[in-house]
Chain A
Amino acid sequence: MTETNTQTPIQTDAVIIGAGPCGLFAVFELGLNDVKCHLVDILDKPGGQCAELYPEKPIYDIPAVPVCTGTELTERLMEQIKPFNPTFHFGQMAESLSKLPDGRWKLTTDQGTIIEAKVVVVAAGGGSFMPKRPPIKGIEEYEGKSVFYAVRKKEQFRDKNIVIAGGGDSALDWALNLQPIAKRVTLVHRRDDFRAAPDSVGKMRAMVAEGKMDLKIGNFTSVIGEGGVATAITLVDDAKNSTEHPCDTILAFYGLTMKLGPVATFGINLHENLIPVNVENFETSEPTVFAIGDINAYPGKMKLILSGFHEAALMAKKAFTYIHPDRRYRFQYTTSSSDLQGKLGVDGKDAA
């Protein structure tokens, strides 16, 4: 499997938005139908929610798999789809979708990757994973100027008086990483206990003890400043005492949340942030655009991984007719079809 990041339009049969379990299994079902796929995902790894929200939690309702973790499910799906050699575009958000004069689709990502395909499969789950934004009134005006949720260029923070909010790995890693170049780093967390790796916590505590970094305990509740330029933050402790801490830069790391994002602007009909589909082949209001998994809606829908797998199979059958209009659809079983076994690179003689 390869990764690319190119400005030249990529030509493929199908582009799948979302590399969670349903997007991955769609590669399998489409692959059996001779449909080549590219996948786009905002995360830097496959698995979607299974990878981001519950990598180590058990899943008990995958047919014939009594138990597996989110990570294991992802790994097994990646192994299963290997014969079809899909191309992944990780760390990219599907930003816009437009129709080409010949009826195909042009998908552009926020990194400038352009993918042209006959079929689009939206398997975007609960939406794109984006940093949680603190529900602080007026924080928007500071975003990108004084308030940040990610570090793109470390140099941008040289000689800054930085407050880093959060208690996980991102907060601790960046506190340690920026300390040498910042004017001052103050770590702010709601409690004097950290979920981050013990090694990072130990390093942070040592720096605080040596006076190289500050640690303040309390809830980050407001930004003080003007015109997007912060001068301080407010911290509130358990006893509701409020204190101000001068700073010019705030980095907030509270984890990720799912937002529908640009899919809402693709021109597909939406209902309560979900994409209505028909139950015959999970096509949306736009022919050749499908939606499978948690993001779709139809009567009786259950948001289960297994529902998404079923939807992928029916979607692929219809997608085949768009990609290969000259061919007759042939229903086959992987157990007995030498054609399918050839695609999977197996000989089908021995299951042991």
Chain B
Amino acid sequence: MKVIMTDMEGTNHELLATEEWTVMEIIREGGIPILAQCGGSCACATCHVYVDPAWKAKLPEPNEEEVGMLDGAFDVTQDSRLACQIIFTKDLDGLVVKLAAGSV
């Protein structure tokens, strides 16, 4: 299973994805630089990604804590999520995300 991530330079990376891992962990363990300063506890907004609109419906809605933490990110859009709060499942095989400025 995989996640496709576009970095700040626009390069696509196909990353090995493991069920129950967060997308932040999949990016980090895939060797792609991502700040993720708080280590995945939804406390810093430095793993901000844009989820491809085609995939948005497959993701559970962000909770209030995540929406609040996104206030600390920049250029937040309706596609914005914190990668540490997206848990990878089989249904998300092929998920496409783009890293946001401020997360590298």
Chain A contact residues, CB within 8 Å of chain B: 49, 53-54, 57, 126, 132, 134-136, 166-168, 189-191, 193, 195, 219, 221, 236, 238, 254-255, 257-258, 303
Q: Is the interface of A mostly helix, strand, loop or mixed?
A: loop
**A132-B102, A190-B76 in contact; A168/B71 too (CB < 8 A)?**
yes
- Asked whether A255 lies within 8 Å of B45 as measured between CB atoms, the reply is yes
Chain B interface residue count: which class? 20 to 34
A-B contact pairs, 26 of them (CB 8 A): A49-B38, A53-B37, A53-B43, A53-B44, A54-B38, A54-B41, A54-B43, A57-B41, A57-B43, A126-B37, A132-B72, A132-B74, A135-B101, A135-B102, A190-B70, A190-B71, A190-B76, A191-B67, A191-B71, A195-B71, A219-B74, A238-B77, A238-B78, A254-B74, A257-B37, A258-B37
Contacting residues, chain B, for A193 (C-beta < 8 A): 67
Q: Is the interface of B mostly helix, strand, loop or mixed?
A: loop
- Asked whether A257 lies within 8 Å of B44 as measured between CB atoms, the reply is yes
- Total of A-B residue pairs, C-beta within 8 Å: 56
- Asked whether B71 lies within 8 Å of A167 as measured between CB atoms, the reply is yes
Query: Whole-angstrom distance between the alpha carbons of A132 and B70 in the complex?
Result: 13
Type the 1/0 row for B47-79, where 1 means its CB is closer than 8 Å to any CB of A.
Answer: 000000000000000000001101111111110
Query: Whole-angstrom distance between the alpha carbons of A320 and B44 in the complex?
Result: 37
- Asked whether A166 lies within 8 Å of B71 as measured between CB atoms, the reply is yes
Query: Whole-angstrom distance between the alpha carbons of A303 and B76 in the complex?
Result: 30
- Nearest chain A CB to B40's CB is how many angstroms away? 11
- Nearest chain A CB to B57's CB is how many angstroms away? 18
Q: Does B85 contact A (CB under 8 A)?
A: no
Known: A57-B43, A236-B75, A257-B46. 7 other contacts (CB 8 A): A57-B41, A132-B74, A134-B102, A135-B102, A190-B76, A254-B71, A254-B72
Query: Whole-angstrom distance between the alpha carbons of A238 and B77 in the complex?
Result: 6
Contacting residues, chain B, for A238 (C-beta < 8 A): 77-78
Q: Does B30 contact A (CB under 8 A)?
A: no
- Asked whether A255 lies within 8 Å of B76 as measured between CB atoms, the reply is no
Query: Whole-angstrom distance between the alpha carbons of A255 and B74 in the complex?
Result: 11
Option from A135, A189, A236 in Cβ contact (under 8 Å) with B71: A189
- Nearest chain B CB to A39's CB is how many angstroms away? 22
Query: Which of B35, B67, B72 has the most chain A CB within a 10 Å cutoff?
Result: B72
Type the 1/0 row for B15-53, where 1 means its CB is closer than 8 Å to any CB of A.
Answer: 000000000000000000001011101011110000000
